[in-house]
Amino acid sequence: MAEHGVDGAFLQRFAGQCDLENGNEGVRRLRDEVGDRVREAAEREGRVFAIMRVIHKHFSLHSYADIF
């Protein structure tokens, strides 16, 4: 990241893809792994990262709590 002048990374997460009640275990596992890699790379390179959570109004509060 530093070598290419990248100050940080911004990762977007969609709550619906993490909803375990709708059978999205595989998708959530993949998204979690991507998030881990982003965090690890940013920390290794001394850079920052942020995660934006996209939550749709139809998403239940119970499920919403599961993604944090």
What is the rounded CA–CA span in Å between residue 5 and residue 24?
A: 35
The β-bridge partners of 9 are 49
pTM for this entry? 0.66
Instruction: Characterize the bridge pairing of strands 48-54 and 8-14.
Output: parallel
Contacts of 44 (CB under 8 A, 6+ apart): none
Contacts of 50 (CB under 8 A, 6+ apart): 8, 9, 10, 11
pLDDT digit string (tens) for the chain, length 68 residues: 788 888 999 988 877 666 666 667 888 888 889 999 999 999 999 999 999 887 765 555 555 555 55
Question: Structural domain boundaries of the chain?
Answer: 2-66
Determine the pLDDT at residue 1.
78
The gap from C-alpha 48 to its chain's centroid, in whole angstroms, comes to 14
